[in-house]
Structure 1
Amino acid sequence: MAGRGKNLIAIVATHGHGDHWFGDNEFAERFGAPVVATAGTIAVMHRNVAARPFAWDKLWPGQIPDAPVTAVTVPDNALDLEGHALHLVEVGHTDTEQTSVLHVPDLGLVVAGDALYNGAHMYIGESAGGGLDAWRAAISTVEALTPRHIVAGHKSKDLDDDATRVIAGTRRYLDSAETALKECSTATEFFRTMVARHPDLAYGKTLLWVGAKALYALREPGADPVAASVAAWF
């Protein structure tokens, strides 16, 4: 950014999954800009820090920098960039709890984090007990912003960011997953069914498999949601 004469005013975290913010403090130090998030996202960030010894650090030992939660909220969840309004819009549950998107009205743009996916298999491992319906409600919240462009956190590099297509594709995948969950009795069967039904999606199969393992583990009597989510990665 500095090499292009741009001033970085903030680093925005849309949700609490560690892979989306564990490196933010290094950017904050380099550019002298705060890490910004909603209060709900900050709470989930703290939970991801607590989970590091059991999940993140086991998956990538020694590769993740020290990452205390330094994110702060901003008044009305709004930023001003050279006279242009940027809004952190809370959308609730998507692929984790208490997520948000960044809305740039002047550009008709939504930076969606993981609220929308674009040409990729989706992580639904935290969507038991009504999570798919909650995710659909989140999509409707984004749609009500009438964006023209949506930048998804998980996307195919070969696809554009057309908002109408991205929204429709995400909804279609959630509907497909809901049907498959009713039809399939095991995580393996669910995974194979989703791959077969979406042959155009080459990216994200690992997330699909991990999510399937978590969801089907939760079908066992007395299953613990946190333990199921962590164990699904191993």
Structure 2
Amino acid sequence: MHANNAGRPYVWDKVYSDIPPSPVTAVTVPDNRFTLEGRDLVMVEVGHTDTEATSVLHVPDLALVVAGDVIYNGAHQYVGEAVLAGLDSWRRAIDQVEALSPRSVVAGHKKSELDDDAARTITETREYLDVAEELMGTENSAVDFFNAMIARYPDRIGRTVLWSMSQAVFGIREHPGEDPVQFIAGGWL
């Protein structure tokens, strides 16, 4: 949270106008759990997904996971940072969510008309990573990759995210040894 807040003037304030001030005020809770309205809510740290240090919120007696950046639902997934750590770390995070046995998953990035069915969203998130990884290996440029992903997923929302990610992935690939942050941030601008 602190890292994203520090980068805000360089990326997010340039991409989106009129974002209200948002100081980081979150604090950790003992044992990564708390109770709300008589229900246990458990924070589960799952590692690197579309960004570093991702976590999910599990409500066991509702068979619910609020998945944030781990599970997407009808939206293009941002793999621009994930390529640095490798997509397998994201796959392990998906496995951790699945091991919680949710019936419903609330995705942090979602096409509003879609339901929250856990089995479908988990399967589709995994498949997207597989397709993205395959196309990163076969496409020759950010434009080619972007177009191939649109052809494969024409109904997903978030084409700006897809374009930013495409630029980041191919910028990093085409400039090995250079600071990847310039390509990750630059993809948004």
Which category of TM-score, normalised to the shorter sequence, fits these structures? over 0.9
Correspondence list, 1:1-234, <5 A: 45-61=1-17, 63-201=18-156, 203-219=157-173, 220-234=175-189
Residue identity matched to 1:58: K
In 2: Cα distance, 1:68 partner to 1:156 partner: 28
Count of aligned pairs? 188
Identity fraction in percent: 58
In 1: Cα distance, 2:87 partner to 2:176 partner: 21
Q: Secondary structure at the match of 1:200?
A: coil
Of structures 1 and 2, the one with the larger relative CO (CA 8 A, separation 6+) is 2
Superimposed CA distance per residue, residues 144-182 of structure 1 (whole angstroms, 9 cap, x where no aligned partner):
000000011111222111100010000010000000000
Q: Secondary structure at the match of 2:81?
A: coil
How far 1:68 moved relative to its partner?
2.2
In 2: Cα distance, 1:60 partner to 1:197 partner: 28
**Contact 2:103 / 2:118 at 8 angstroms: preserved in 1?**
yes
CA RMSD of aligned residues (A): 1.2
Q: Secondary structure at the match of 2:131?
A: helix
Q: For the pair shown, which has the larger CA radius of gyration, 1 or 2?
A: 1
TM-score, normalised via structure 1 length: 0.77
**Contact 1:108 / 1:149 at 8 angstroms: preserved in 2?**
yes
**Contact 2:48 / 2:85 at 8 angstroms: preserved in 1?**
no
How far 1:67 moved relative to its partner?
2.3
Gap runs ≥5 in structure 2: none
TM-score, normalised via structure 2 length: 0.95
Gap runs ≥5 in structure 1: 1-44
